[in-house]
Amino acid sequence: MTDISPLAPKQFPEISPVSGVRFVTRGVGVKYKDRTDLMVAELVEGSSIAGVFTKSLTASAPVDACRAALKAGKGQARCMIVNSGNANAFTGKKGSASVERIVTAAADVFNCTPEEIFTASTGVIGQPLPDSKITNALAEMKDHLGEADFEAAAKAIMTTDTFPKAASKTVQINGVDVVISGIAKGSGMIAPDMATMLSFIFTDAKIAPDVLQAVLRDATDKSFNAITVDSDTSTSDTVLFAATNQAAHDEITSYDDAALSDFKAAFEELMIDLAQQVVRDGEGASKFITVTVTGAENDKAAKTIALAIANSPLVKTAIAGEDANWGRVVMAVGKAGEKADRDKLQISMGGVMIAGEGEAVDDYDEGPVAAHMKGQEIDVLVDVGIATGKATVWTCDLTHGYITINADYRS
């Protein structure tokens, strides 16, 4: 069994159930033995759904199907079906046919239209999905809906993850309590471009599909699109956000409705929490790294620079080795392709300024920085001296463990 990441939470968080959502999980042997690998989430009739997906040009068959269902079904959903162990990506017409068979069978079992069924797959790329193992289990699973909780659902969608990931918030809309609870999986092949990574979030709030989509899109940019483990964008990245519309408040039909402000803030916090958990489970990770860039031409430029730092193997390996090698940060800023003033550039680690005005700080004491680098939480701050643009991204270090995990992944 894989050791749990040293950056993992001490325990699974307390997750509030969401009215109108029922889970069931099974081990059907898609790839793994002696563990669950199939999760079904049933949504009450009348539920809304929103989704964001990978921008990869080699997207998986389930991603294509979800995009089509989201459009054809006009944001309505009854069921999510998610398997681990096989990504059903780069499987050609066979992959599309397998998704169609799953959707058709599920629509029959759950008595809804095919457009209300959303599927996701994660795991090995390029191997046909044994979809009969999934379809043969659906009828029996329906009879046991509600037996699984959020923790069981989170475990069923794991691949190289070392711990299940979930988060929950309670917030008010027009004086009515509403719940937001979600799960995620991801450990390797993680880079922001949507965001293998999957996340499924549920709320009982009453929100129109177009508003739900806008809320999800904005929060994704500040969360899953602000993380990176290894700079590789998955073929399968999917985030689905479902609203069961069970809460006793009037439907929110405008993104700008003041009643939605607290909900949007809480949802963004939950998304950032889930995204950071993915980084904390980065394959082989021993350190969680926060990279903040200020003084850029604009926020977009700041994010580009921050990602250049966060994705640099040289920066990540230096941090793994607990070496405050700020020269590698200088390198990463320079290669980012955004405006930066070499002679105004400032670099701090652990709150201590190391370099400024184009050179190392005179008489800088490396002691506090060396002590900071030995910890598990590493902070890097860079000001590029151009304007007021700023951004924060999260990543992890790069260790021998990453090579070990990925060298053995298909076996």
Q: Which residues contribute to the annotated binding site? A: 159, 185, 196, 283, 406, 411
Contact 127, 160 (CB under 8 A): no
Q: Residue positions in the annotated binding site for substrate?
A: 159, 185, 196, 283, 406, 411
Contacts of 332 (CB under 8 A, 6+ apart): 305, 308, 309, 312, 314, 315
Terminal C-alpha separation, the chain: 14
Residues in CB range of 293: below 8 A, 6 or more apart: 302, 303, 305, 306, 309, 381, 382, 383, 384, 389, 390, 391, 392
Helical spans, DSSP H, in 196-247: 209-222
Q: Which of 54, 196, 233, 244 is catalytic?
A: 196
Instruction: Assess whether 196 carries a catalytic annotation.
Output: yes
Q: CA torsion 394→195→199→31, rounded to 10°?
A: -100
d(CA 356, CA 342): 9
Q: What is the DSSP string of 20-64?
A: TEEEEEE---SS-SSS--EEEEEEEEEEEEEEEE---TT--HHHH
> Distance between CA 298 and CA 202 in Å, rounded?
33
Distance CA 18, CA 29 (A): 29
Please give the structure tokens belonging to residue 85. Answer: 């162990």
> What does 87-114 look like in DSSP terms, one character per residue?
---S-HHHHHHHHHHHHHHHHHHTTS-G
Encoded tokens for 375: 């910890």
- Mind telling me the catalytic residues? 196
